[in-house]
């Protein structure tokens, strides 16, 4: 009881971690898409990009465009980096293919590097991680200033990188000094966008009459949220599946939480509700489980026209999705739609 009393009168202040992340994907054996795509993200929001077709970095948010107008060296730096990485990583894929006795086929090399800054403690953590063919391969350890092989095949690469001390010194400076400086500047320019609070629209969706009911929230910002189903006011832990928080094209986010209704009688539906909580916002968004509110798609025919449009949309999304960093224990994971492009 004393602990509860103290927590009630002295609430805990949650710190916010800001991040700068550069994601690079280089592919081999994939036709009709750029073999390099790079994305710059601030607080998980894409603010710049480059690819091997244009070989020119570009800002994708209005506030970032204003920054590169004031500091054109930022755009020039990322353009040079894009060109260097393209040539260097294509060579790295060839080396890995020989090292792993791979001949032909589709191969993907991904790099995730940048830094995180805790706005309360001031702690800065840099990271540099490489994945190959959708799996963790090797990462840099700032504490020991050495590379860590994340699978046996990466040991050769680890030893080679550990011997290059000048490169390790440059990387350490980049992760602990240069990237944090960039992040502070970006947060200053983008604060009106990055520090905002956007409430979502919440819908109930169901694919078929026997499918789980999905509570889907989209358009919210920031991505510090909680979402769950509850019954009679109590949060559920079983019969529920929470999805990932995913980015929208406009910098907002989306997520969903599914509820399995196979063992729930129709008369008990009224006892369930979906709860969406946005950090820093007092009132939750509560959506009652009501059959009349569920949006479905099984009543609509998927004719040739609809099917063609959906097919084009899927292709566009999947081409982009190949290069989206997917998190699984902070590691690499192949984008699901990649299988739609490459059977």
185: in domain: yes
- Give the list of residues 6+ apart from residue 305 with CB closer than 8 angstroms, or none: none
Task: CATH number of the domain at 207, please.
Answer: 2.60.40.10
| Bridge-based pairing state of the strands 135-141 and 146-149 | antiparallel
State residue 238's pLDDT score: 82
Predicted pLDDT at 33? 84
Hey, what are 326's tokens?
């997917």
Q: What pLDDT sits at residue 263?
A: 87
Regarding whether 125 and 231 lie in a shared domain, the answer is no
216's enclosing H/E stretch is strand 213-220
Q: Is residue 332 one of the residues assigned to a domain?
A: no
Same domain, 101 and 205: no
Q: Are residues 160 and 15 in the same domain?
A: yes
The answer as to whether 51 is a domain residue is yes
The answer on 256 and 182 residing in a single domain is no
Mean pLDDT by 10 residues, the chain (343 residues): 36 68 91 89 92 88 94 90 84 88 88 93 95 94 97 94 97 96 95 92 93 96 93 90 90 94 90 94 94 77 38 37 43 38 25
Report yes or no on 320 lying in a domain: no
Domain CATH code at residue 74: 3.30.500.10
On whether both 247 and 157 belong to a single domain, the answer is: no
249 contact partners, CB below 8 Å, separation of at least 6: none
Query: Where does a domain end: 169, 194, 219?
Result: 194
Asked if the structure places residue 149 within a domain, the reply is yes
Cβ–Cβ < 8 Å for 82, 106: no
Residue where the block lists tokens 């073999």: 35
Same domain flag for 84 and 136: yes
Instruction: Let me know if residue 2 belongs to a domain.
Output: no
pLDDT at 70: 94
pLDDT value, residue 15: 60
In the chain, how many domains are there? 2
* Same-domain pairing of 78 and 207: no
Residue that terminates a domain, selected from 154, 174, 194 = 194
For residue 342, is it within any domain?
no
- Let me know whether 190 and 219 are in one domain: no
Q: Which domain holds residue 151?
A: 10-194
| Residue 333 maps to a domain | no
The dihedrals phi and psi of 42, each to the nearest 5 degrees, come to -120, 120
Residue 178's contacts (CB-CB under 8 Å, 6 or more residues apart) are none
For residues 50 and 26, the answer to whether their CB atoms sit within 8 Å is: no
């Amino acid at each position: 009881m004393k602990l509860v009393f103290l927590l009630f009168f002295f609430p805990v202040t949650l710190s916010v971690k800001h991040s700068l992340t550069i994601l690079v994907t280089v592919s081999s054996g994939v036709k009709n898409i750029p073999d390099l795509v790079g994305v710059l993200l601030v607080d998980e929001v894409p603010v710049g990009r480059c690819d091997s077709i244009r070989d020119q970095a570009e800002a994708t948010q209005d506030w970032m465009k204003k920054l590169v107008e004031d500091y054109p060296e930022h755009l020039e730096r990322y353009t040079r980096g894009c060109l260097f990485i393209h040539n260097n990583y294509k060579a790295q894929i060839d080396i890995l293919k020989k090292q792993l006795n791979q001949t032909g086929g589709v191969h993907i090399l991904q790099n995730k590097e940048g830094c995180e800054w805790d706005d309360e403690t001031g702690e800065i953590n840099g990271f540099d991680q490489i994945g190959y063919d959708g799996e963790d391969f090797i990462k840099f350890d700032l504490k020991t200033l050495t590379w860590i092989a994340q699978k046996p095949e990466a040991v050769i690469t680890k030893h080679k990188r550990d011997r290059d001390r000048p490169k390790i010194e440059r990387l350490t400076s980049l992760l602990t000094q240069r990237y944090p400086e960039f992040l502070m500047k970006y947060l200053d320019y983008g604060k009106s966008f990055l520090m905002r609070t956007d409430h979502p629209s919440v819908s109930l969706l169901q694919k078929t009459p026997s499918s789980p009911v999905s509570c889907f929230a989209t358009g919210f910002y920031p991505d510090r949220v909680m979402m769950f189903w509850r019954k009679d006011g109590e949060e559920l832990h079983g019969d529920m599946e929470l999805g990932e928080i995913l980015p929208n094209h406009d910098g907002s986010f989306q997520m969903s939480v599914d509820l399995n209704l196979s063992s729930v009688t129709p008369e008990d539906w009224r006892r369930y509700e979906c709860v969406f909580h946005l950090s820093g916002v007092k009132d939750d968004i509560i959506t009652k489980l009501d059959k009349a509110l569920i949006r479905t798609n099984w009543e609509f025919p998927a004719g040739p026209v609809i099917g063609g449009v959906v097919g084009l949309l899927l292709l566009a999304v999947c081409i982009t999705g190949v290069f989206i960093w997917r998190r699984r224990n902070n590691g690499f994971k192949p984008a699901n739609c990649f299988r739609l492009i490459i059977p």
